[in-house]
Structure 1
Amino acid sequence: MRHFVGSVSVVTTWHGARPWGMTINSFTSVCTEPPTILICLNSKTVTAAHVREGGRFAVNLLTQDQLHLSELCSRPSVDKFIDEHVLLSAGVFGGSGVPRLREASVVFECRAVEQLVVGSHRIAIAAIECIHAPAAGPPLLYGQGRYMHGVDLEARA
């Protein structure tokens, strides 16, 4: 699996009254009718617990300029999003919505429709309820144990 190269995303949800996030690279489209995605989360994480309980979350696709967000959200049990430089905005799920990263290239606001546990991970299949595309930029990629840019892939072709 080390050779798999994928985009880097941050799943955001609420942890009590605070926004919380977790870096993932297990994200894929399931189908377009209806728009549905799939994510995998380590079952022992705070984020997985909140997705299991609340079912609402956002998947924020990061750009190459957001490596710092990926690193912040990949640290277990560290307070996420307390730094004033990490921008947040409420989603559109009525009330306060789900937290999302304002500077992500694309944000999918989702509602889990099916969840299951396989080994150490929770798989959530989710309906996309809203899509935001607030910023543009080349995607942040991860593979072979390191962060990569598109030019890294071109050099290997």
Structure 2
Amino acid sequence: MAARVLSTDMPQVVSPEQFKGVMRRLGSSVAVITSRHDARVNGMTATAVCSVSADPPSLLVVVNRANASHAMIRQGQAFAVNLLSQSQSDLAERFARRTPDPFSDVPHTLGVTGCPLLEECSGSLECTVVQETEVGTHTIFIGHVVSAKIGMAPPLLYHEGTYHALSALKRA
């Protein structure tokens, strides 16, 4: 079934600031999306990651077209999602900045796609790109999962501009 595109001619009644304010209320895991093209590697911090299907295993990432990772994913046709553990907020900050060599002194290996896999993560998934969809300033990359690694550390979470650790709710 082909994708159906809805009209974007409707008047804008929600400002970008209102939208961002509500979206900050959505708590999410923190990931570093890594990519590789030829000998170059890159990484970016993201919360826009979502499972698409378990059969076949696939997920999506959303990347701003102005971000260097966008071109790397498009050219390399692969990416890895490294789910950060609660002790890795420093890596979230590092990959959120434009650093000339973001992987220097960061323990990692290269996965089956050639994309960097960060050590001590809560988990990692390597994907090959199977579909791209441009929406506004971003591209949704859908990837077929070709490798998965489950870590033991609890995940790092992000809510209202702050990193958080996972804790269980106490029952009344």
| TM-score normalised per structure 2 | 0.80
The answer as to 2:77 corresponding to 1:60 is no
Q: Distance in 2 between matches of 1:15 and 1:27?
A: 21
Alignment of 1:49-128 (within 5 A): 49-76=71-98, 78-82=100-104, 84=105, 86-93=106-113, 97-128=114-145
Aligned match of 1:150: 166
Larger Rg: 2
Aligned match of 1:131: 148
Tell me which amino acid in the other structure corresponds to 1:147. Y
| Partner secondary structure for residue 155 of structure 2 | coil
Q: CA RMSD in A?
A: 1.7
Which one of 33, 37, 48 corresponds to residue 70 of structure 2? 48
Q: Distance in 1 between matches of 2:40 and 2:108?
A: 11
Return the offset for 1:124. Answer: 0.4
Return the offset for 1:79. Answer: 2.8
Greater relative CO, 1 or 2 (CA 8 Å, sep 6+): 1
Aligned residues between the structures: 148
| TM-score normalised per structure 1 | 0.87
Once the two structures are superposed, what CA deviation does each residue of 1:44-84 show, in whole Å capped at 9, x if it has no partner? 011111111221111000000111110000013543111x2
Asked whether the 8 Å contact 1:4–1:143 carries over to 2, the reply is: yes
Query: Structure 1: where are the runs of 5+ without partners?
Result: none
| Partner secondary structure for residue 125 of structure 1 | strand
| Partner secondary structure for residue 87 of structure 2 | helix
Aligned match of 2:50: 28
Asked whether the 8 Å contact 2:88–2:156 carries over to 1, the reply is: yes
Asked whether the 8 Å contact 1:36–1:125 carries over to 2, the reply is: yes
Aligned match of 1:8: 30
Aligned match of 2:156: 140
Return the offset for 1:149. Answer: 1.6
| Partner secondary structure for residue 92 of structure 1 | coil
Identity score, percent: 39
Query: Structure 2: where are the runs of 5+ without partners?
Result: 1-22
The answer as to 2:39 corresponding to 1:17 is yes
